[in-house]
Amino acid sequence: MTENQDFLKRLLTLPGLSGFEDPVRKVIAEEWQTLVDELKVSPLGSLHGLKRGYGPEPRPRVLLAAHMDAIGLMVTSIQEGLLRVTAIGGVDPRILPGTPVTVHGRRDLPAWVAAPPDHLLPPSQAGKPVSLEYLLVDTGLSAQEVAELVRVGDLVSFNTQPVELSGGVIAGHSLDKGASVAAVTECLRTLQQMKPGWDVWTVATVQEEITMAGALTSPFDLRPQIAIVVDVTFAKGPGASDYRAFEMDKGPMLGVGPNIHPAIFQSFKTLAEELDLPCAVEPMPAHSGTDAFGIQVVAEGIPCMVLGIPLRYMHTPVEAVMLKDIRRTGWLMAQFIARMEMNFMEKVRMEDAE
Amino acid sequence: MSTHNTHAFELPVIGAEQIALLEKLSNAVGISGDEGEVRKIVLDEIKGLVDQIIVDSLGNVLAICNGEGPDPLRVMLAAHMDEVGFMLVEEDAPGLYAFAVVGGVDLRHLPGKMVQAGKQHLPGVIGAKPIHLQEKDENGRAIPLTSLRIDIGPGGKGKLKPGDRAAFATAFQQVGPSIIGKALDDRLGVATLIEILKRRPRQLTLQVAFTVQEEVGLRGARVAGYALNPDIAIILDSTPSYDLPVWDGEENIRYNTRIGCGPAIYTVDGATINDPRLIKFLAQIAERHGIPFQFRQPGGGGTDAGAIHKTRGGVPSVSISVPGRYQHTAAQITRTDDWTHTLQLVYAALHGLDRSVLAAER
Amino acid sequence: MKALIKKFVEAAGPSGFENAVRDLVKAEIAPYVDRIEVDALGSLIAWKGSRQPGGKRVMISAHLDEIGVIATHVDQNGFVRFTPLGAVRPHTCLGGRVIFQNGTRGVIGSERLEDLARTPGFEQMFIDVGAASREDCPVRTGDAGSFDRDFVALSENRLAAKAMDDRIGVAVQVEVIRQLKASPNELVFVFSTQEEVMLRGATTAAYAVDPEIGISIDVTVSGDTPRGIKMETALGKGPAIKVRDAGMISDPRLVRHMCAAAERLGIPVQLEILEGGTTDARAIQTTRAGVPAGCVSIPCRYIHSPSEVLDYQDVINSVKLLVELLGHPIDLQ
């Protein structure tokens, strides 16, 4: 895992906002280069890696999806050298005041999010968390320098450096994407020592946080027989205590619900029990909130499974995840893929789950 | 319009056999994403009636009947198998389960209802705080989902697990001119399609889709429409009748449909602008055969057509619903005659349908 | 081009009922394109040219439809109740006029308002078509109508009309078709239907066309009115190149390519970040295996009101920009 840990830390220092995933895609491509047989980039920028199976051709295909985009901000206007911003993805404006960010202008500029005092805001805002439209980003530069270096449409990403907390927990911004990509990478590494029959397509999708454009499009050409989607889910912690949150160190969570094929869920559950992994079942009554929502309805339909890695403080710059949960998620996927027989699809017909 | 003699057949009627089929379908449980029980009934009923059956990766049943003659028109018929209901999410005391709602259910309809939970259909109840223990003003507020539980009794400890589904427990019945049951939205459509398959028109290739997950976003229909790639789609559903008195005695102008007035043909809903050519065709067929019909009031809501008409390069589509009161609650009430006329309209339309209906540009 | 704009904006074509506008467009472009088709949802698709070395198949889309109304009920006294087609703003309705597809005109009234400070909902409004009873009323449930308002030039460059959204895009696209003499690209011009009700026409057209690049032409909000929406766009400062809207992030490579084209031409452009709404480009972007997509927007005030105002020079410059873009290879870097 240390190899993977370094990779994860590197991911956490990179910008890669939805729709602008280039920087993070380059690093993932570098990492996957040695682990797959082929690498491609989709028209929308999703990264597709193919690790050929050992079964006879034509081989069936399993798609592993993790999204690589992160939430962040975008400059909407410049006023007296200060920047007004809008959100890309679901940003809670309450965590922004005082947060260090990077403005990706003509060059990267360190900056901080500033909240004006109440008396400079509309009376309706008094005493309330300052809403995004009134927050400012201050680069510390003069108005003239800002005018030269920053334009409307420039991106602003979080600039917190990853940190290790006690007990094998890593914290930082955009762990949301980082943890899932790291789990898929861990799976690829594990598969190097195995001889799976199936072709494995690993896909780092774009724009999950906004339109799921990557999930809706990448499977169209790849046409996998099955897709396994890895994403983060809520870990129990401050503010997250009901049934939607799960213990750290108990990952991955196995999703169940309309986005998930019941027989594939059952196969995963059986395997996890066999392997003595402490996987909890995560009820997803309607929309799973993951790429599976998009992938499942591509073309004639693609059976999906969702694995969740428990994560605290989702969509803040201090998301926290336990490395063990990432490792186990990757390992479980690899074990599953290695055991998939060439006729696996015949064994997971809808009827069998009932 | 059509070269077929439209008077050369008798219109089908609803009899004891059809009612028995609907009863079986209504009493079965098939919450969105878990339609297996209904699927089993459908597969059983259509076996031998069609040329090909596919169960796809979402669980849709796609049944194909090949048409006679060269290049027959491909007509997709769709009705959804799923119903609104509940998913258990956590057992927080023995036999007491917290649950989430699947599909559009008004929470004010939940307290005090009987339910059936899990594959075993275990009897359960959704209770409410006794009126004696309520705080002042508490009865002015709807009871939030977070304080409702499905209770199967303390002996039910561990008998169900998170992810299991539950449904209203209402037994189907026939009362005078009406049929009453849960999930008539859209088991009425499912039953209608099965009846159509029993007497199908030979000149068309029928692509019948019994879809899943309509109530959670038309998801089954989307992939079914893509897979079948039809020339035309007709969607059968059930739509609300809000034809009740208005509190101030004024004319009810927002009834959506009225029971007893025949099948509701859609014009514009929240998901589809139905193809004007098909609307006109259906109205003409109904008039020719003396079948009563109504137009559903334009407005929100939608059917599987919302997904189907947008697949691939686009599919001319129209929806027809059996009207019914109190949908998405424990019991829907529908007039048997409305169902009869719906079946007749679909039957007559299919026998009169050919390519000429699409001759003009939309 | 003003005569063309006037002709298009004064035609009636609420979402789902675009035939009249489609026929006008067809007549204008027929001599300039290789092939025309009307698809299942009523979109007009016109092919022009073939792919030369370095060229791509490019889909360009402007929508035919406008927001409107549809009758839901005729009451016993002949008043027509209605619901909107697309995002009509209730506060723009009272006292306005509509014209139904069968030519019937009507005025919008409302039930007595308890509180004048609150905008009534559509369920409180009705259309008075001059009928005295249900039997007497020429409108039936399901009849669609559009707002009834003439085109007017407020000044030399500022034009006002209903349905500038998106007949201005339609006019720009028609003008581009006429002016483009040669292109290495296979150009597929789509005049889409049902954009105002979730981009439905562009969704199916994009699938059928299967393009390598997608560009929509539509209006965007202008931030230059008193205490208006905070936005950097303004009338007269050139076409707006969309960076993002509420439904899509434009392909950044295409944005750069468009900016470079404008720079070559020496025409002004603005960058657009729109917080609400989206365009046909979103539908193109997510079709099939994905398509790099962007949008050329014409800034417009009072969008979705019966008097939408824009600047004629922005329109002219949008035509120039698109002719330049489409006339050359589009290499995304």
Of C279, C14, C62, C35, the C-alpha closest to C191 is: C62
Residue B3 lies in a domain: no
Expressed as residue numbers, the domain containing B154 is: 85-168
Overall CATH class of domain C68-147: mainly beta
What does the DSSP 8-state code read for residue C84? Answer: E
Q: Do B324 and B201 belong together in one domain?
A: yes
At residue B135, the pLDDT reads 87
Contact C274, C245 (CB under 8 A): yes
Query: What is the average pLDDT across B163-188?
Result: 97
- pLDDT at A232 > cutoff 80: yes
| Residue of C249, C271, C287 lying closest to A19 (CB–CB) | C249
Residue B10 lies in a domain: no
Which residues of C are identified as catalytic? 195
- pLDDT at B140 > cutoff 90: no
| Closest chain A residue to the Cα of C287, Cα to Cα | A217
CATH number at residue B89: 2.40.30.40
Q: Do B205 and B257 belong together in one domain?
A: yes
Partner-chain contact C83 B251, CB within 8 Å: no
| Residue of C273, C285, C288 lying closest to A152 (CB–CB) | C273
Q: Do B227 and B330 belong together in one domain?
A: yes
Residue B48 lies in a domain: yes
Between these two residues, B1 and C218, which has the higher pLDDT value? C218
Which of the residues B214, B215, B250, B361 is marked catalytic? B214
CATH number at residue B282: 3.40.630.10
At residue C4, the pLDDT reads 98
Tens digit of pLDDT for each residue in B218-242?
999 999 999 999 999 999 999 999 9
Chain B residues whose C-beta is within 8 A of a chain A C-beta are: 32-34, 36-37, 39-40, 55-60, 87-90, 98, 100-103, 119, 146, 161-163, 212-213, 216-217, 219, 222-223, 226-227
Contact C218, A181 (CB under 8 A): no
Contact B315, C161 (CB under 8 A): no
Residue B232 lies in a domain: yes
Token pair recorded at residue B237 = 């559903």
Q: How many percent of chain A have pLDDT more than 90?
A: 92
- pLDDT at B3 > cutoff 50: no
ipTM of the complex as predicted: 0.94
B and C: number of Cβ contacts within 8 A:
78
Chain C residues whose C-beta is within 8 A of a chain B C-beta are: 15-17, 19, 22, 38-43, 70-73, 75-76, 81, 83, 85, 123, 141-142, 144, 194, 197, 200, 203-205, 207-208
Task: Quote the minimal CA–CA distance from B39 to chain A in Å.
Answer: 9
Partner-chain contact A88 C289, CB within 8 Å: no
Residue B281 lies in a domain: yes
| Residue of C230, C244, C288 lying closest to A217 (CB–CB) | C288
Token pair recorded at residue A195 = 């001889």
Contact C269, C321 (CB under 8 A): yes
Domains of chain A: 2-70+173-353 (3.40.630.10), 72-158 (2.40.30.40)
Overall CATH class of domain C2-66+162-326: alpha beta
Token pair recorded at residue A39 = 């690498």
Number of helices and strands (H, E) in chain B? Answer: 7, 17
For residues A289 and B312, what is the distance between their CA atoms, to the nearest angstrom? 25
In a structure prediction context, what are the per-residue pLDDT tens digits for chain C, which is 333 residues long?
A: 999 999 999 999 999 999 999 999 999 999 999 999 999 999 999 999 999 999 999 999 999 999 999 999 999 999 999 999 999 999 999 999 999 999 999 999 999 999 989 999 999 999 999 999 999 999 999 999 999 999 999 999 999 999 999 999 999 999 999 999 999 999 999 999 999 999 999 999 999 999 999 999 999 999 999 999 989 999 999 999 999 999 999 999 999 999 999 999 999 999 999 999 999 999 999 999 999 999 999 999 999 999 999 999 999 999 999 999 999 999 998
Q: How confident is the model at residue A173 (pLDDT cuts 50, 70, 90)?
A: very high
Mutate to test the interface with C, among A217, A291, A298 (most CBs of C within 10 A): A217
- Residue C19 with chain B: CB contacts under 8 Å: 361-362
- Residue A210 with chain C: CB contacts under 8 Å: 249
Q: Do B158 and B277 belong together in one domain?
A: no
For residues B236 and B263, what is the distance between their CA atoms, to the nearest angstrom? 10
Tens digit of pLDDT for each residue in A249-293?
998 999 999 999 999 999 999 999 999 998 899 999 999 999 999
Contact A177, A68 (CB under 8 A): yes
- pLDDT at A354 > cutoff 50: no
Residues in chain A: 354
Partner-chain contact A285 B101, CB within 8 Å: yes
- Residue B312 with chain C: CB contacts under 8 Å: 204, 207-208
- pLDDT at A1 > cutoff 60: no
Task: Quote the minimal CA–CA distance from C271 to chain A in Å.
Answer: 7
Subunits with 3+ Cβ pairs within 8 Å of B are: A, C
Subunits with 3+ Cβ pairs within 8 Å of A are: B, C
Q: What pairing do the DSSP bridges indicate for beta strands C186-192 and C44-48?
A: antiparallel
The number of folded domains in chain B is 2
Mutate to test the interface with C, among A17, A76, A135 (most CBs of C within 10 A): A76
- Residue B40 with chain A: CB contacts under 8 Å: 351, 354
Burial of C265 per CB tally in 10 Å (0-12, 13-18, 19+): middle
- pLDDT at A127 > cutoff 60: yes
A and B: number of Cβ contacts within 8 A:
88
| Residue of B40, B102, B222 lying closest to A286 (CB–CB) | B102
Specify whether the backbone of B33 is left (phi greater than 0), alpha (psi in -120 to 50) or beta. Answer: left
Q: Do B27 and B152 belong together in one domain?
A: no
Tens digit of pLDDT for each residue in B323-338?
999 999 999 999 999 9
Q: Do B114 and B91 belong together in one domain?
A: yes
Q: List the Cα angle C244/A176/A87 in 5-degree steps.
A: 25
Residue B174 lies in a domain: no
- Residue B163 with chain A: CB contacts under 8 Å: 256-257, 281, 283
At residue C125, the pLDDT reads 97
Please give the backbone phi and psi of residue A330, each rounded to the nearest 5 degrees, phi first: -65, -40
For residues B341 and B192, what is the distance between their CA atoms, to the nearest angstrom? 11
At residue B1, the pLDDT reads 43
Partner-chain contact B57 A301, CB within 8 Å: yes
| b (16+ CB within 10 A) / e for A316-346 | bbbbbbbbbbbbbbbbbbbbbbeebeeebbe
Q: Do B221 and B196 belong together in one domain?
A: yes
Residue B4 lies in a domain: no
State chain B's mean pLDDT as an integer. Answer: 95
Query: What is the average pLDDT across A98-104?
Result: 95
Mutate to test the interface with A, among C220, C243, C287 (most CBs of A within 10 A): C243
At residue A353, the pLDDT reads 52
Tens digit of pLDDT for each residue in B160-173?
999 999 999 999 99
At residue B9, the pLDDT reads 74
At residue B137, the pLDDT reads 86
Partner-chain contact B57 A300, CB within 8 Å: yes
- pLDDT at B2 > cutoff 90: no
State chain A's mean pLDDT as an integer. Answer: 95
Of A21, A332, B256, the C-alpha closest to C73 is: B256
Q: Where are the domains of chain C?
A: 2-66+162-326, 68-147
Query: What is the average pLDDT across A147-172?
Result: 95
Q: Do B341 and B352 belong together in one domain?
A: yes
Partner-chain contact A20 C252, CB within 8 Å: yes
Query: What is the average pLDDT across A188-215?
Result: 96
- Residue C71 with chain B: CB contacts under 8 Å: 298
Q: Do B21 and B113 belong together in one domain?
A: no
Q: Do B49 and B101 belong together in one domain?
A: no
